[in-house]
């Protein structure tokens, strides 16, 4: 199964802000960015099914690209930063932040999840997807979800994952073997 992963366009939050699952606004350049993504997506058409994170930054791009009825699935939401959501990393005085910086794979944000927890959530979604009768699927999601999917597909190794963050509006293709 061919899976086309599309990252949402640029968010309108200050640099250094922790926003994971918060439903943040998109930049005023949305239309311009979305037009480029929609044009690039044409190379992968058609899709048997389209999924999107329920957060509006993904739903809005899916809708712009012609998929207003894309199936929403919470498992493909960005990492949950819990108590850190909408706080600048530099102003976060939670002592766990340093633990998280040292081992974000296994240390959960206070009240949130670790990268490993997000990976399990995304993997569960992909395990289920492999059982579906689709040939080509589109998924409108987040940078962290695209990293998880590429790890799952064996395209990335954990140690290089965050050096391979897909740009806003970017597209990544992976293949999943059907079960």
Residue 108 pLDDT exceeds 90: yes
Residue 35 pLDDT exceeds 70: yes
Residue 150 pLDDT exceeds 70: yes
Average pLDDT over residues 96-107: 92
Q: What is the pLDDT of residue 158?
A: 84
Average pLDDT over residues 3-31: 97
**Torsion sign, CA atoms 148, 11, 53, 67:** negative
Q: What is the pLDDT of residue 136?
A: 98
DSSP, residue by residue, the chain: -EEEEEE---B-S-TTEE-TTS-PPBPTTHHHHHHHHHHHHGGG---SEEEE-SSHHHHHHHHHTT-TTPEE-GGGSPP--GGGTTEEGGG---THHHHHHH-TTTPPPTTS--HHHHHHHHHHHHHHHHTSS-SEEEEEE-HHHHHHHHHHTTSS-GGGGGGGPPPTT-EEEEE----
Q: What is the pLDDT of residue 159?
A: 83
Mean per-residue pLDDT of the chain = 96
Residue 178 pLDDT exceeds 80: no
Residue 161 pLDDT exceeds 90: no
Q: What is the pTM of this model?
A: 0.96
Domains of the chain from N-terminus onward: 1-173 (3.40.50.1240)
Q: What is the pLDDT of residues 113-141, one digit of tens each?
A: 999 999 999 999 999 999 999 999 999 99
Average pLDDT over residues 82-106: 94
Residue 179 pLDDT exceeds 70: no
């Amino acid at each position: 199964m061919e899976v086309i992963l599309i990252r949402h366009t640029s968010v309108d939050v200050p640099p250094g802000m922790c926003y994971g699952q918060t439903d943040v606004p998109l930049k005023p350049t949305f239309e311009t960015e979305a037009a480029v993504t929609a044009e690039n997506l044409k190379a992968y058409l058609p899709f048997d099914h389209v999924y999107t994170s329920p957060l509006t930054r993904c739903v809005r791009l899916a809708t712009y690209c012609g998929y207003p009825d894309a199936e929403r699935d919470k498992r493909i939401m960005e990492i949950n930063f819990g108590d850190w959501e909408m706080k600048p990393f530099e102003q976060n005085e939670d002592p766990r932040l340093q633990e998280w910086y040292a081992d974000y794979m296994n240390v959960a944000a206070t009240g949130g999840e670790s990268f490993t927890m997000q990976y399990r959530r995304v993997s569960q979604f992909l395990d289920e997807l492999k059982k579906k009768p689709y040939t080509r699927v589109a998924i409108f999601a987040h940078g962290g979800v695209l990293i998880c999917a590429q790890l799952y597909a064996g395209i990335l190794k954990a140690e290089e994952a965050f050096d391979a963050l897909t740009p806003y509006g970017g597209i990544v293709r992976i293949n999943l073997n059907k079960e």
